[in-house]
Structure 1
Amino acid sequence: MAPSPSSNHQDIVLAIASYLRFYVKNTGLGKAYVAPLDVELSYGNIVQPDVFVLLNEHLDQDIGSRIVGAPDLVVEVASPSTARHDLSEKLQAYAAAGVPEYWVVTPDAHVVEMLVLDRGMYRSLGLFIADDVLPSQVLPGLPVTVEQFFM
């Protein structure tokens, strides 16, 4: 069994999930979820993203015991032991499943890399830090700065 995440990792996951949940709930766009919850990207390909969002048009993917299909937005908070996996195997799995937007959060550097799906492959919109507002394409107008995740 893998060791549990650090308290810092969980603080960041909770902050991100809180902001996303508040935004999607108050705008009526959909629902935000937090691990542990299985996401079956395809038959036999199951992941547990740290945080993810389903927009209203995909809420039928929530069958109670798991999510079946690609979320609209996935957030992974990388730790030294998971960073390589988050940027290789998970990145490929999310792209193959059609996840439109993928954020990789690096806690030590207080950085969020935002990736968007473009013709089946992820393209980086850049590295965002401090008071940068995240330019989400899935959640346009999301009023959150990177530093709010690390307070």
Structure 2
Amino acid sequence: MNLFCNYVEGLGLGEVFMAPLDVELGYGYVVQPDVFVLFNEHLDQVADSRILGAPDLVIEVASPSTAGHDRREKQDAYAGAGVPEYWIVTPDAHIVEVLFLDSGIYRSQGLFIADDVLPSQVLPGLPITVEQIFI
């Protein structure tokens, strides 16, 4: 994840945040994404103790106990709030699923493993492979 943070922040694109930090997607609906990105133009969403509004990219690390919640409730909440890109990381299997928002619905771009370069619409040219996420 260090390479990911270094890419976003090193290029001056925005900031990478990590849990625990509340993100208020809408009035009264608060989540704590594992990792998320706010681009510079959205840094005004940073409040004293939380983020007000949708991040530009959310990464959830799915454990066996949270995978269902991440794929249903959180995925629906992020889509409804307009998060353009959502990654679901499965650490046991070293798999990353990349989803892009299309007309209010997430479309999977596939499951990525090993030395697959992670595709990103919000971070075009991202040179990071799946294995590098786990370093």
For structure 2, list consecutive stretches of 5 or more residues without a partner in the other structure: none
Paired residue total:
135
CA distance, structure 1, for counterparts of residue 84 and residue 48 of structure 2: 23
CA distance, structure 2, for counterparts of residue 19 and residue 99 of structure 1: 22
Give the fraction of aligned pairs with identical amino acids, expressed as a percent: 72
Structure 2 residue identity aligned to 1:87: R
Taking the TM superposition and a 5 Å limit, the aligned residue runs for 1:100-111 are 100-111=84-95
More contact order relative to length (CA 8 Å, sep ≥ 6): 2
CA distance, structure 2, for counterparts of residue 138 and residue 20 of structure 1: 13
For structure 1, list consecutive stretches of 5 or more residues without a partner in the other structure: 1-15
Question: Moved runs in structure 1, 4+ residues, more than 3 A?
Answer: none
Which of residues 7, 24, 46 in structure 2 aligns to 1:40?
Answer: 24
CA distance, structure 2, for counterparts of residue 150 and residue 23 of structure 1: 15
CA distance, structure 2, for counterparts of residue 27 and residue 150 of structure 1: 21
User: Which secondary structure state, in structure 2, belongs to the residue aligned with residue 64 of structure 1?
Assistant: coil
Q: Would you tell me which structure has more strand in proportion to its own residues?
A: 2
Which of residues 55, 73, 76 in structure 2 aligns to 1:89?
Answer: 73
Q: Give the TM-score taking structure 2 as reference length.
A: 0.97
How far 1:71 sits from its partner (Å)?
0.1
Match of 1:141 in 2: 125
Query: Does 2:114 correspond to 1:124?
Result: no
Taking the TM superposition and a 5 Å limit, the aligned residue runs for 1:24-35 are 24-35=8-19
User: Which secondary structure state, in structure 2, belongs to the residue aligned with residue 109 of structure 1?
Assistant: coil
User: Which secondary structure state, in structure 2, belongs to the residue aligned with residue 49 of structure 1?
Assistant: coil
